[in-house]
Amino acid sequence: MPLKLAPAFKDYLWGGERLKSEYGKHTRLSPLAESWELSCHKDGPSTIVNGPDAGRTLAEYAARHPACVGTRHTDGVFPVLIKLIDAARPLSVQVHPDDAYAQRVEGEPGKTEMWYVVDAQPGAQLYYGFQRELTREEAARRIADGTLTDVLNAVPVKAGDVFFIDAGTVHAIGADILIAEIQQNSNTTYRVFDYGRLGADGKPRALHVEKALDVARLCPPERPAGPMGKPEQNGDCTSTLLAKCGYFTARLLDVAGSAPLCADGESFHSLLCLSGSGAVICGGGAVSFAKGDSLFLPAGLGAYTIAGRAQLVLTTL
């Protein structure tokens, strides 16, 4: 059956309150920066809330039912992590390592990710790579003297924008942006620059300059912003390929009625509802969902139907 998930929450200092006020997230944490909607990561696993496995973490469920991930992934580590991110203030400028560096230095996978901009206030922007190529020496000097943002590629954003962040791409989400993020199952981030902010302990937040410079591509982004595919109409559903890589495939589904789909044995299906409401109908039963809900459909579940009026992100391997 489809599994409805409760997320893990993160109260990083740059977060806001929109995930609680607009997306139905219940937590005493304030601010609320991230909800880890589909997660088997030790730093914040999501929890099943319906059916016979209610109360178990998704990680426990996957360990008991390894076939639920699908045959496209066989290394035993759950491959993806899906988040909602509410940036009321700018995130630090940061970069993620690739698999080889991360496994050698951190003991976990690298981090390639994708952002779908759910909402952005007028004037919002983010950083995506550099305006031009830099040497390591210039990058280090600009980090030290606080001028790194002068050479970053600042991009105005609006709802519906898509950014694919390959490992090694220097990036930062700006203020007043709400994002759905699909990423590798990793929590390794190297902070490059943080505007001189202090953490909860009153001390400057740690930077990871040498590691960041080891892995950063000091050049403009190779991939243009935007979805990788065009909208395709299939009955009551418009499907747009947002991103496809060796780690995940993400599609935006706009459903206005019913949309038949199938979770075969190759990959699980993850559904994250960004707006609207409906139900996933499968095997004679139905699991309802609303804005902010996340559902996990195990690989091999078979045919199912999304019924309702909703916008969702579908993630598969």
Q: Binding site membership: which residues?
A: 96, 113, 171
Residue 221's identity, in one-letter code, is: P
Find how far residue 78's CA is from the centre of its chain. Answer: 15
- Report how far residue 206's alpha carbon sits from residue 209's, in angstroms, rounded to the nearest whole number: 9
| In contact, 267 and 247? CB cutoff 8 Å | no
Non-local CB neighbours of 233 within 8 Å, separated by 6+ positions: none
Residue 72's identity, in one-letter code, is: R
- Report how far residue 56's alpha carbon sits from residue 195's, in angstroms, rounded to the nearest whole number: 40
Annotated binding-site positions for Zn(2+): 96, 113, 171
- Report how far residue 147's alpha carbon sits from residue 254's, in angstroms, rounded to the nearest whole number: 42
Query: To which residue do tokens 């004679």 refer?
Result: 284
Query: Could you give the count of Cα atoms lying within 13 Å of 244 in the half-sphere of its Cβ?
Result: 7
- Report how far residue 179's alpha carbon sits from residue 19's, in angstroms, rounded to the nearest whole number: 11
- Report how far residue 191's alpha carbon sits from residue 208's, in angstroms, rounded to the nearest whole number: 5
The three-point CA angle 38-83-207 to 5° equals 125
Catalytic residues: 191
Tokens of 156: 């105005």
What stretch of H or E contains 157? none
